[in-house]
Each structure stands twice: as structure tokens, then as C-alpha cells.
Structure 1
Amino acid sequence: MISKSASGVAIASLGCIIILYWMWKLLKGLWLTPKKLEKCLKQQGLVGNSYKFLIGDMKESSKLRNEALQKPIPFTHDYYNRIQPFIHQILNNSGAGKNIYTWLGPVPTILITQPELIKDAFNRMNNFQKPRLNPYTQMLSTGLPNYEGQKWAKHRKLLNPAFQLDKLKLMIHTFETCVTDTLNKWEKLVCKTGSSEVDIWPYLTTLTGDGIARAAFGSSFEDGRRIFELLTLQKDIVISLLKYSYIPGFKYMPIKGNRKMKEADNEIKPLLTNIINRRRKAMEAGEAPKDDLLGMLLESNANEARQVNENESGSSKRKSDLTMSFPEMIDACKQFFLAGQETTSVALTWTMLLLAKHQDWQTRARQEVLATFGMNTPDFDGIHNRLKIVTMILYEVLRLYPPVPATSRRVHDRETKLGDLVIPQGVGVSFSILHAHLNPEIWGDDAKEFKPDRFAEGIAKATKGNNSYFPFGWGPRICIGQNFALVEAKMALCMILQRFSFDLSPSYIHAPTSLISLQPQHGAHIILHRF
């Protein structure tokens, strides 16, 4: 029989071993591995700072960003030094043609600006995968943009039918309703004097939020609107807490931000659960699927489940491998809101600001809209096929102000090559969409100027066949909702041009800032005139 003292020694020894193991893991993850990766990157000629324990470059980056946010800039389209001042500083100090890296906590991230390398990486989705979500972003939403492998392929297949052009055609009336609501509010503002100063940013945010709520949930619009409000609250909290996300266990600390995130999540999930359950029960009772995104998703999921059941005897795949689970469907609905609303609202806002500055293009766009539709409600065929000038303008706005100026990937499984670079396992890669869009070798010496006519003969001609235009990404993972965003933006812009003309307000402050998307930090103040 083992004595109590011997047993105690064994337990203490086991405890010491466990503690030493986790201390080794922390030492390796937070110091030894980052220093090894740093050496590898420097040997290849990459320029960057030496690693600082745990925080990397985050303290200095945050300091420069806060300073940049205090300084508006002239209304030019050269604003990278404002949205990424730390990276801009390293780029300037590194010398022409040098690749650089920065530290996001203990993870080194290489900046890629060359369009051909960005395109190559986007096409190699298995080598360059989405970075693992930090705890706050994961709580906000997972969904299609963050899945990999078979799970990504399953969700992409199930969601594709909802975003086909013939399905978007059914949503035109939904878009019209939301735009009309907004324009009626503007009419009330200008009714007395015929003109009024308006910050259009909150109005367009509400417009696109209502648009995605109606398009996603149809008759459950009010529930959808509340979900959008809660997700917006969560998004704001995430932005404020991201700088702490690399501190182990910070997500679980009982601070105000963490509590609010959980409270909002506890309200969102029951709302989505009730909406989805009502729809599923209606479909099971024989009711036809609704012509909204949720209805199309449920129909697509049901069709896939039916095929699995019919082929069950000859198929080795399980139903769960080919259809969405209930939690996955909730994540898909949350993603509808976050991606659909954000992309269209920022695109519309920058479009109106640039047309307010460039009155000649505003006039040309209005003339095209009136020649195509008169004062009638724009129809899908006209929006999709007959608006050359409006399309050129939107393409140019998305080039100069891409909704997401940079996107990140990570080499998870094994080292891989990208051009002449050998990227070790565990290293992040940031693809600067903005640098690709402003590259003078592709776009010419006027790359930083607003010239929509560069797209007069289409994107391929504008990029000289180099495919360096990535406002919605590229390759297999190109944004599934790009047609949705463009149709909604064109619909809204046409209806605005039919009823209003607009100038830049003297109070407008040009201050692009990149939070989750590229937004106007101090709003978008214009003078609206009744047309």
C-alpha cells in the first residue's frame, strides 16, 4: 500500500510537471517561436521591428493610429498614411521595393502590395487560409467568410442560389421601399427652403440596415431591424476591445464590454431562433418558401437534405456533411447583416461624397438615370444592363475607397512560397487592396485621381489585363454578395439622383478611417437640394 506521504509527493510532482509543461508552451508560443520566425523573415530581406514580448507592434501602432485620427486631411484620395500610419511609416523607411512585416501580438504579418501576388494568393485558398478568429470577432460572427475546406464548400454551395441574379431581381421592390423611406426623410428636411445640410452617413447606414433586414427576413422585418441594432452594438464593442484580444483570458474578465457583448448575444440568438423556427414549420406544413434570403437558404438546405435522403443507400457522406446545422444557420443570418449592410453603406456614402465634389460626373450620372427611367422607379433590367456611367462611377469609387482596404490570411499548416518569398508556417499575410488599386504601373500616373472613364471599356481594359481590381476579393472566395451590394447601391443612387442634387458642405471633414470597413470618421456632410 502506498503511503499518504508518497501519494502526496506523486500528486505534487504531477502538478509540477503540468505547470512546467504549460510554462514551456507559453515560452515557446510567446517568445521562442516569434523570434525564430523573425530570424527567418529577416534572412529573406524583409524589414520590420524586433519582436516585443506579447504585444509586438501593437502599442506603437495604436499610438500612431490615435494621433492620425486627430488629424483630418485634404480631400484627396491618398489617405493610407491616415488609416495605417504605422505600416506607412515602415514602408517609407524600408526603401523602394522592400517587403515588410509587422507584429500583431506574437504573430508576424507580411504586407503584400503587388497585385500579381495578391491575385495568386487569393487563388490558392488552401495555402492561404483565413486567420483564426480572436475571441471577440468569433462572438460577433463566424459564417462563410471564416470557414475553410469542406465546411466552406458546403456553405458556399447552399448560399449560392440566394445570390443569383434571378433571385436578386425579386428583391428590387424591397430595395425601393427602403430607399423611399430614406428619401422621404430627406424631403422633410429640405421642404421649407429647398435645401438643407445633411450628414448622410447615419441615414445610409439605416437604409442599408433596413434593406438587409427586409431582404433577409421579409415579413419579420421588425425582428430583423432589432437584430441589426444589436449586431451594430456588438461591432462597436469589438472595435473598442480588439487591442486587448491578444491578452490570454481577457475575454473572460468581468469588464463592461464583455458583459455587453454577452447580453447582446443572449438577445440575438432567441430572435434568430424564433424567425428560423417559424419559417421551417411553415415550410413543413406545405407553405412555399419566401422570396427572401432566409427563405432561399432554407429551400436550398431542404433540397440538399432531400437529395441526401434519396441517395442515402449509395452515399458515404452524412447529412451533416452536406447541410447546415441550426447554429450554422444562425451564423449565416448574422453574416447577412454584417457583410451586406456594411459594404453597401460605405460604398454609397463615398459615392455621394465624390459626386458632391465632382459635379460634372453627378450631372452625367443624373442625365443617364433620367434618360433610362425618367422619374419612374428603376427596374432590374435597367439597373443591371443599361447604366454605363453609373457603373463606371461605382467601379471608380470602389477602386479609390474599397470597403475593406486590406484583408488577411495565414499560413497554418506548412510553409509556402509566394513569388520569391518563403512564408513559414504560422506567419500572417496582409494583402493591401488599396495599394493594388493605386499602383501607377497598372492604373497610370493618375491612379490617385477620380476618373470613372478609366472603366469605360470594362474592368479588364482598365487594368490592362492584369486583374488588379479586388474590391470584393478574388478567386474562389470572392464575395458571394457582390451582386447584391451593386444592385442595391445602383438602385439607391438612381433614386437619389432622380429627386436631389447635392454639394459638399463647408463643414465636411475628410477623414477616412478603417474600422471593420472604410468609413468617414466625422460623418459625410453634404448640402441636399430638391431636384
Structure 2
Amino acid sequence: MEPVSKVWASQLLPYVNNVLLKLLDSNNGNSNNGTVTRKIISISAALFLFYITYDKVMRPPKQLRHITHGNPIKTLMAALRQLSADEITRSIGYPLSSQTENGLYTRFDATGWTVIINDPAIAKEYLFKSTTFVKSPLSDDFAGTLITRFIVGPNILFLSGQHWLDQRKIANPAFRRSMPVALFGRLTEKLFNVIDTTGDTSDVYDLMERWTLDALGNAGFGFDFDAISSKQNKWVKKYNDIINATQNPIYGLFPILERRFLNWIPSRKKSHQDMDEFHDMIQCLIDKKRKLIQEQKESGISVMGDPERDLLTMMIEGGQEEGQGLTDAELLSNVYVFLFAGHDTTASAISFAICFLAMYPEIQQRAREEAIKILGDEPKNVAPTVEQSQKMVYTEQIIKETLRMYAPVDYLVPRCAVKDTELGGVFIPKGTQVTVSIYQLHHSPRVWNDNPDKFNPDRFASNTNTSSIENYDWIPFSTGARKCIGMNFSLSEQRLFLPMLLRKYVWRLPKDTIHSPERIVTKQNLGVMSPKNLNVIFERRY
């Protein structure tokens, strides 16, 4: 049998070598000297990375070896191949969790060895121990990297303790206000105009990304990306380029490349320049809003009850009376998190719902009949009110079942044990990272014993539903104190958009689709799972 080090090197190093060659290619000319230089740098870097990472990636630390663990080669290969969350879970997570009664296992990822939970009782125990398991920032190895600059920072997603409590207190009123359904309705009509002028098929995820970006930009911080009408305009393109750059797996696995060799990688340097420009644009918005709020205050104008105020304005105002307002750095960091977490995730959720309804025309028609019953069948666009949305029980079941089948975020943000503890009777030493696999929990036959891989909205019918957020079986937005603050915003978007779409169109998948009821082909983007190449044929009803 070959030594494990030799196997590891023979399998992983070619991937590292090829990726590094691509990264460095644009920095060199076509000369022979340039080619030789690239190969020398690439091979040297690969061997160096192998040397510094071998011991920590090949096996878990001693204190975690009592927990079932997987082969890190498979996880690293999956990351480099950019496999989606469901593919990784099925090929790695399921086999590991089946080896123990409680399903706990540990695996290596970009942030180190992490214990994975997929049992609702243990998930509840874990999430309730909020003072034992706390959010921990990425290591200093990631300082200054693009992913840290964009999403990891002093924001409500990654902070813990009093700092998090202070921010949550300020942000809560902004997300508990009445949702801007009139805005959502206007944007939906705008999107319909785009669908009507598109060819035979429409790229659904592309459309939904544009719709949710405009919804969050306008409602979130009063900025119109105008993505629906012009998906290639400056700020839409810059934002998408940043998102695409952050998901490059090589920089997640080896952040030293970005921190030490950025000037050698022109494409990555360009991404940081894009981030600088985006940062300046958001900072300009903050400055203008602070100035306007101050001017209104000095003029005695009160806008505190204005329902059209955006989230950023409300967060700037929050805590000012007590002298506990957010700093610009905190506001910037939260804008990035709200923008990404509220944009891609909702786009993903609606796209999956559209895909399922295309696969199951009888379910689509049943939902359409409900929308028509409540909104009427007059040939014009009608945006449901909040009260009307609450009456659409079957649509709500579709939304919940879609989020069970494909929760946009597969894993909760890992938390770190600040002291020795137990989960499910298993010893968890201090310093251990722990998370919950939402995908595996939502597809567990032990929980969803009625064919968990089949789309069935009737699971959530009031007379048959035996699983809900209360018993931690269904947690697409997490739950407890750290439940996603944007849950109601996202659900409001979905509750408005789907009935309007159902009244306007009947849709189906083209014959050459890559998707089927047995398997929706997915892709991964910064931890968000979405359908890949989802083309749909829309036929107008009016």
C-alpha cells in the first residue's frame, strides 16, 4: 500500500498546480521563459502548500478522533471541483452519518475540522447553547482577503456576545416593519416586461437574481441597481464580478496566495479594485443618508413613521438617541451581508419553486386556482396585499416544501465551543467548530420518513404536518436567538411574487432540460445552492 502522503500528493497536487497556472497565466507573456517561470512558481507553491498543510488536513486533531471522520482528500477535491452542497452531502455526508446512531461526524473544510450535526434533537441542543457555541471569526490567515472584505466582518451574521446583541437590537425594528409589497409588485411587473420580450426560453435564476437585487437595493439602502432592465450596467456587473471572485475555491483553501502574492495575480488584484469601488459607492450612500437625517433633525422634520424608509436609514437612526449608533464600518459590513444573504438566497428559493412547479403541472395549477380565487382572474397584474397572501395556504405549503428540499444555505455558519461540552452524548472539546447540515437534516429518512427526496407540499398541510421549526426539523433560516433576521423579508418577497407569476403565466421545462423530479442539477456560490442552467418556457395567460 502506498504511503498516505504519496496518495495525497498524487491526487491533490495536480489540481493545485493547474489552478495556480491559470491564476498566474495572465501575469506572463507567451515567451518560453515565461512558461518555464510559471511552471516553476506553480510547482514550488504546490509543494510548499502540501508541506504546510499535510498534518492538519490529513487527520483530525487528537481530541476529535473519537468522532467519525471522513477522508479529507474527497472534501478537498469536491471543493476544487466546485461540487454543489447536495452533491457533497450525498457523496460524503450520508456515508459518514450512517456510521453512527446519532449521525455526528467531522470533516475537513476551508476553515478546518468541523463537527457536522444532522439530527434535530442534537441541532436543538446545539442552537440553545448559544453561550457555549459562539460565532467565531475566520482566522487571521484570511485577513485582507476578498471574502473577508465582502462578507466577514463586524456584522450581525458573524459577531457574538454583547456586540452582536447591540447590533441585533438596532437592526430588529428595520426588519419588523411592514414589508414594501408595493415596491415588490412594481418590480414584478417590470420583470414580466422582460420575460415577455425574451426568446422561447428564459433563464430563471438570472431573472430572479436581477429581481431580488433590485428589491433589496431599493428596500435595503435606497439604491436602484436597475438590474431588471440592464443586467450589464456598471454596478450590477461589478457586484456580480465580486461575487464570482469570492467563490474561487483555491483562495478559500489557500488564503496565503491572496495575502502574499496578490500583485502576481492580476485577475485577483482586479477583484480587489472592484471591491474598493463598490465600497466607495456604499460609503457615499451612508454619508448622504447621515447628512439627510441630520438636516431633517435640525429642521424638526420627523420621518420616523415613514413606511418607505429603507433599512439602511433605519439602521443609521437606530441607537442614536442612546448614543449607541452603528459605526460606518459596521454599517458597511452589514450592508454587504444583507445584500448577499438577502439577494442570492431568495433568488435561489424562488427559482427552485418555479422549477418544481414546472415539473409538477398539477401542483402549479392548484396553486394558480388559489391565486385566482383570492385575486380574481381579470387580465391584469394584481399584487397581493399582506392580508391576501395570508389566505394563500397552498402557496405557503409550496414555499415551505421548496425550502425543505433546497434550503438556499446548506450549512449554518459554524460556531466554536468555548468550553468542553457534550452533544448527543458525544464529548466536544473546547475550540471545536460545529455546524448543522440543513440539507441533510431536511432530507433525513429518520425525520421525513415519507420519501424525503420527493417534492410534496402536502407535508405542510395543517392537518398532516408533524414537522416544523418548533421541533427543529425545518430550519432553512436557522432558529432561536440567531434566526435569520431577514426571514420575513424573504418570505414576503416569495409570497408576493409566486401568486403574481401564477396568474400571469403557465410554464414548463423545455425537452432538453438537465433537470428532473429525481434530481435538480445545482451549483454553489459562496455557500448558496441554486439550480444550474434553469431554462423555462413561459406562456402568457393575458
TM range (shorter): 0.7 to 0.9
Choose between structure 1 and 2: higher helix proportion.
1
Which of residues 490, 493, 496 is equivalent to 2:498? 493
How far did residue 242 of structure 1 move? 4.9
State the partner residue of 1:174.
183
Q: Aligned in 2, Cα 1:431/1:242: closer, same or farther, shift over 3 Å?
A: farther
Q: Aligned in 2, Cα 1:119/1:384: closer, same or farther, shift over 3 Å?
A: farther
3-state SS in 2 of match to 1:364: helix
Does residue 1:161 correspond to 2:173, yes or no? yes
How far did residue 124 of structure 1 move? 2.0
Give distance in 2, aligned partners of 1:88 and 1:257. 34
Give distance in 2, aligned partners of 1:234 and 1:181. 26
Which of residues 191, 205, 208 is equivalent to 1:204? 208
Q: Are 1:64 and 1:86, in contact at CA under 8 Å, matched by a contact in 2?
A: no
State the partner residue of 1:146.
158
Which of residues 307, 311, 317 is equivalent to 1:302? 317
Counterpart of 1:240 in structure 2: which amino acid? N
Q: Aligned in 2, Cα 1:37/1:520: closer, same or farther, shift over 3 Å?
A: closer
Unpaired segments ≥5 residues, structure 1:
1-25, 50-56, 70-78, 191-195, 309-318
Does residue 1:233 correspond to 2:241, yes or no? yes
Does residue 1:419 correspond to 2:431, yes or no? no
Q: Aligned in 2, Cα 1:527/1:247: closer, same or farther, shift over 3 Å?
A: closer
State the partner residue of 1:345.
347
Q: Are 2:201 and 2:535, in contact at CA under 8 Å, matched by a contact in 1?
A: yes
Please identify, of 273-282 and 250-259, the stretch whose mean Cα deviation from structure 2 is larger. 250-259
3-state SS in 2 of match to 1:111: strand
Which of residues 316, 335, 351 is equivalent to 2:337? 335
Counterpart of 2:415 in structure 1: which amino acid? R
The total of aligned residue pairs comes to: 464
State the partner residue of 2:368.
366
Give distance in 2, aligned partners of 1:31 and 1:479. 36
Does residue 1:388 correspond to 2:393, yes or no? yes
Counterpart of 2:224 in structure 1: which amino acid? F
Superposed CA deviations along residues 173-231 of structure 1, whole A, max 9, x for unmatched, are 111121111111112237xxxxx32221111110111111111233x424998555433
Give distance in 2, aligned partners of 1:464 and 1:172. 25
Unpaired segments ≥5 residues, structure 2:
1-48, 228-232, 516-520
Which of residues 276, 283, 295 is equivalent to 1:266? 276
Does residue 1:481 correspond to 2:486, yes or no? yes
Counterpart of 2:351 in structure 1: which amino acid? T
State the partner residue of 1:63.
77
State the partner residue of 1:46.
68
State the partner residue of 1:401.
406
Counterpart of 1:365 in structure 2: which amino acid? A
TM-score by length of structure 1 reads 0.79
Q: Are 1:399 and 1:437, in contact at CA under 8 Å, matched by a contact in 2?
A: yes
Does residue 1:216 correspond to 2:224, yes or no? no
Give distance in 1, aligned partners of 2:76 and 2:388. 42
Q: Are 1:442 and 1:463, in contact at CA under 8 Å, matched by a contact in 2?
A: no
3-state SS in 1 of match to 2:422: strand
Give distance in 1, aligned partners of 2:195 and 2:85. 33
How far did residue 440 of structure 1 move? 2.3
Give distance in 2, aligned partners of 1:115 and 1:473. 12
How far did residue 30 of structure 1 move? 6.6
Q: Are 2:410 and 2:529, in contact at CA under 8 Å, matched by a contact in 1?
A: no
Counterpart of 1:186 in structure 2: which amino acid? I
3-state SS in 2 of match to 1:221: coil
Give distance in 1, aligned partners of 2:268 and 2:408. 27
Q: Aligned in 2, Cα 1:280/1:387: closer, same or farther, shift over 3 Å?
A: same
Counterpart of 1:327 in structure 2: which amino acid? A
Please identify, of 178-187 and 477-486, the stretch whose mean Cα deviation from structure 2 is larger. 178-187
Aligned positions of 1:415-494 closer than 5 A: 415-457=420-462, 461-463=466-468, 466-494=471-499
Give distance in 2, aligned partners of 1:330 and 1:239. 20
Aligned-residue RMSD, C-alpha: 3.1
Give distance in 2, aligned partners of 1:358 and 1:271. 43
Counterpart of 1:38 in structure 2: which amino acid? P
Structure with greater Cα Rg: 1
Q: Aligned in 2, Cα 1:299/1:399: closer, same or farther, shift over 3 Å?
A: closer
State the partner residue of 1:22.
none
Q: Are 1:366 and 1:497, in contact at CA under 8 Å, matched by a contact in 2?
A: yes
Q: Aligned in 2, Cα 1:344/1:294: closer, same or farther, shift over 3 Å?
A: same
Give distance in 1, aligned partners of 2:396 and 2:70. 40
Q: Are 2:225 and 2:236, in contact at CA under 8 Å, matched by a contact in 1?
A: no
TM-score by length of structure 2 reads 0.77
Give distance in 2, aligned partners of 1:464 and 1:326. 35
Superposed CA deviations along residues 476-511 of structure 1, whole A, max 9, x for unmatched, are 010011110011112111111111000111222131
State the partner residue of 2:7.
none
How far did residue 249 of structure 1 move? 5.9
Counterpart of 1:207 in structure 2: which amino acid? W
Give distance in 2, aligned partners of 1:288 and 1:110. 50
